[in-house]
Structure 1
């Protein structure tokens, strides 16, 4: 038997018609700035690099990709932890988050994911340094598992807040962050392969980067449309800056990789330019999402429009 839908709950104050309380924001903007945005970008890139190195193990007989991924993961974990400690203002706050694991807290899970990923990458890096190849190969598995979390957990962290721009696209943000991480990770590994003269491996990594950047471009377009549908109204300059970040992080690299395929004579130069654009654009886009999200929290009407039911009635859940 079909369930009867619950009746709408009457709103004695009537539907929202654009009123605000002296234009005071009803939610607080986050304190996150370029430090968190840079950590998110670097962490996602390093995490995806560890995953790709594990997936390409059969094509990496000498372990060059594995070594590069371990070193990249170890360095990024150290830099990321330093950025987070500086952002938290006091170092003991980071240590306090390791005292308890809260599965329902994205911040708690993120701290444990970063710590586990950093530990596995550090073990792998030391093993590579001292020639312990078996230990280095074994460290790939936990590093790749932690890398999967590093690639997307920050999307859950942002979308779990009440910030209008982030809350308007919770599912699509995961796709955006994951695809950006994979494209940047593949680009970073491709740069190393080109430097070692492994052009065939670099070409395969470029294909992964191209596919991931294309997926990210589609996800970004969907996300922008959903923010408009949810009632987030951004100024024209803010729209232009967001589109510029998307262009640098996704559209420009896609065009560069596509041009490299069509122009084999300039493939190496175009690949290097596209890879550098992906890595730099990945960080720029994450910082732009942080900045525009905070700006949306300062606009009361964005918050009220997002909370308003689309059909004008609030239903019990």
Structure 2
């Protein structure tokens, strides 16, 4: 064992990251990857598609509006199914509606879904059947008003936990989810709308990819040691694939402007990118909860920073 800088030798071995009986410091999330990652992706797709649908409706881009409204209604319904499936039975979701607690992201999110899903469904049904156009227009506006919250509240939901990779990114996570939602909605519009009406979808996808990549990079930069969870293992592979598909999708949408086949390929790439982003974020959270290092090291870093600020000098880098 090598001596320390001051010449003293340690009398105990260097601490290892572990816990009693080899169990993790935190209980990892028990949510099913398919259910919750799907819920995160579909909810974002629904919320952003409602915004796109309302804009297309207002500018009389009827085909784009129909694609966005149907996509919003379908994704919202499927996201609710995924959530209820993870909860185990529908009664558990209904129980969450017994109270409204503004300080609880889960409570607020449950009420958002309860109000949003019927509005998105009514907007799609009216557009598809051509009946009750005024009610359909009102439902379209209502779904668009709730859309941004539906698209981003899940970012607040997962960062309001003790899971290190999620909690560390609480500043950027809602913006990352909003950008990923815009990417997905833009991809859906490119996939389903005629080339002549795909302009707003292309703009939305471009803005979504830019916002998503910026928020992800900023989150990694601020996460310190926990950023390893976003770069390594299955989560890192998912996020790298998502970045590649995002860039390729936006490039294809602009280079293939006016070409229906190019738009369809770009739309599929963007939808896949958004889905992989949610899976990657979910897996990063699970990995960070399973390894005690990502709970212990950030605590040490925060304590070192607090002590150095109290003493008026820069914090020393914490070691393992």
TM-score range, shorter chain: 0.7 to 0.9
Offset from partner CA, 1:258-278 (integer Å, 9 cap, x none): 4335xx7xx433322111111
| Aligned residues of 1:50 and 1:140 also touching (Cα < 8 A) | yes
DSSP-derived class of the 2:190 partner: helix
State how 1:6-85 maps to structure 2 within 5 Å: 19-22=17-20, 23-32=22-31, 33-60=33-60, 63-85=62-84
C-alpha separation in 1, matches of 2:15 and 2:274: 38
- Kept in 1, the 8 Å contact 2:191–2:265? The answer is no
1 or 2 for the larger relative contact order (CA 8 Å, sep ≥6)?
1
1:167-205 deviation per Cα after TM superposition (whole angstroms, max 9, x unaligned): 1111211111101101211221222222xxxx2321332
Structure 2 match to 1:3: none
- Whether 1:106 and 2:105 are equivalent positions in the alignment is yes
Mapped pair 1:157 → 2:157: yes
C-alpha distance in structure 2 between counterparts of 1:135 and 1:164, whole Å: 45
TM-score by length of 1: 0.83
Task: Decide which of 248, 251, 275 is 2:247's aligned counterpart.
Answer: 251
Residue number in structure 2 paired with 1:308: 300
Structure 2 gap ranges (5+) = 1-13, 310-320
Structure 1 residues 217, 257: CA separation in 2 closer, same or farther (over 3 Å shift)? farther
Q: Alpha carbons of 1:204 and 1:244: their partners in 2 closer, same or farther (altered >3 Å)?
A: same
CA deviation profile, 1:197-246 (whole Å, cap 9, x unmatched): xx23213321321232122122222222223x154544743464144333
Alignment of 1:192-271 (within 5 A): 192-194=192-194, 199-227=195-223, 229-234=224-229, 236-238=232-234, 240-260=236-256, 267-271=259-263
Query: Which residue in the other structure is 2:288 paired with?
Result: 296
**Structure 1 unaligned residues grouped into runs of 5+:** 1-15
TM-aligned CA distance change 1:249 to 1:103, over 3 Å:
farther
Considering only aligned residues, what root-mean-square deviation do their CA atoms show, in Å? 2.6
Report if the CA contact (8 A) 2:256-2:263 is conserved.
Answer: yes
1:313 Cα offset (Å): 5.1
The CA distance in 1 between the partners of 2:158 and 2:91, in whole Å, is: 23
